[in-house]
């Protein structure tokens, strides 16, 4: 490789990194339907009581009508004051939070993140417990050693995460599968995430997701929620 081709390679690498950081279009993940302001609370894809006995109806009602609705409302209030950003899809906002005015960045980060994360989360749960397909198990096992190792690593990360946040299975831009956690309502789309990429599975570990039924026993909630993960949806996201 001569000096010229070497420099061209360096520039291409830098541009690739720049595109990933600045362009949400490299992400094949648009979860929030319709996109753009004003956002609406999406209906749950099942009744509030459908996830019993794993997650109780009251928790689901408060979580959806209380917490999620508040994220939507506060995101809309922030965007009402940011007309230049109203036409962006939510994913575009979240991947480019660093471009928002500092006066509104934290609100969009918290409430836009809250809206995206919960819109992503609800369809990842199913009232009809299902087994992961052998193809999905094979794909996951290739990345983590075995299905049980994957389960152990994900639930352990979720259990150990300090305070409020989320545990994720993420597909990185290079195609690797990784487990990570984010604080508060951050997610792997955001420029602040330790592991950035396409979320494949997210588990809400805020106390509001389990406290009414499980109180401080987060590990019991995690064992329960494992029974109602929609593996068909996970497989579809994995692609």
Residues that bind Fe ion (CB under 5 A): 204, 206, 209
Instruction: Write down the least CB distance from residue 62 to Fe ion, Å.
Output: 10
H/E segment holding residue 70: helix 69-80
Nearer to Fe ion, 140 or 189 (CB): 189
Instruction: Write down the least CB distance from residue 78 to Fe ion, Å.
Output: 19
Query: What are the CA-CA distances from residue 42 to residues 32, 80, 187 (Å)?
Result: 9, 20, 19
Output the residue with the shortest Cβ distance to Fe ion: 204
List, in sequence order, every beta strand (DSSP E) within the chain.
165-171, 177-183, 198-204
Count Cα neighbours of 68 within 13 Å in the Cβ-side half-sphere: 24
Instruction: Write down the least CB distance from residue 71 to Fe ion, Å.
Output: 9
Strand order in the sheet with 165-171: 177-183, 165-171, 198-204
Nearer to Fe ion, 96 or 180 (CB): 180
Query: What are the CA-CA distances from residue 87 to residues 39, 168, 184 (Å)?
Result: 11, 28, 25
Nearer to Fe ion, 60 or 93 (CB): 60
Instruction: Write down the least CB distance from residue 183 to Fe ion, Å.
Output: 13
Q: Residues with Cβ < 8 Å from 85, sequence gap 6 or more?
A: 37, 79, 93, 100
Instruction: Write down the least CB distance from residue 42 to Fe ion, Å.
Output: 14
Nearer to Fe ion, 88 or 201 (CB): 201
Instruction: Write down the least CB distance from residue 49 to Fe ion, Å.
Output: 18
3 state DSSP class of 168: strand
Nearer to Fe ion, 97 or 203 (CB): 203
Give first-to-last CA distance, the chain, whole Å. 36
Nearer to Fe ion, 73 or 137 (CB): 73
Torsion of CA 192, 197, 203, 205, to 10 degrees: -10
């Amino acid at each position: 490789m001569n000096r010229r081709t070497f420099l061209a390679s360096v520039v291409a690498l830098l541009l690739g990194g720049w595109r990933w950081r600045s362009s949400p279009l490299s992400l094949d993940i648009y979860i929030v339907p319709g996109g753009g302001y004003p956002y609406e609370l999406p209906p749950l894809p099942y009744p509030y009581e459908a996830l019993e006995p794993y997650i109780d109806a009251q928790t689901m009602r408060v979580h959806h009508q209380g917490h999620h609705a508040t994220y939507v409302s506060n995101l809309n209030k922030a965007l009402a004051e940011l007309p230049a950003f109203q036409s962006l899809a939510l994913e575009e906002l979240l991947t480019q939070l660093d471009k928002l005015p500092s006066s509104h960045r934290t609100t969009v980060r918290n409430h836009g993140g809250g809206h995206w994360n919960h819109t992503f989360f609800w369809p990842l749960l199913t009232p009809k417990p299902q087994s992961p397909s052998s193809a999905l198990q094979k794909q996951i096992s290739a990345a983590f050693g075995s299905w049980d190792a994957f389960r152990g690593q994900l639930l352990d990360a979720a259990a150990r995460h300090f305070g409020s946040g989320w545990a994720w299975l993420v597909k990185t831009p290079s195609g690797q599968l990784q487990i990570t956690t984010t604080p508060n309502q951050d997610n792997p789309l955001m420029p602040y995430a330790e592991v950035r990429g396409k979320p494949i599975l997210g588990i809400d570990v805020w106390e509001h997701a389990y406290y009414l039924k499980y109180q401080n026993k987060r590990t019991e909630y995690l064992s329960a929620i494992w029974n109602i993960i929609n593996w068909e949806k996970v497989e579809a996201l994995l692609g």
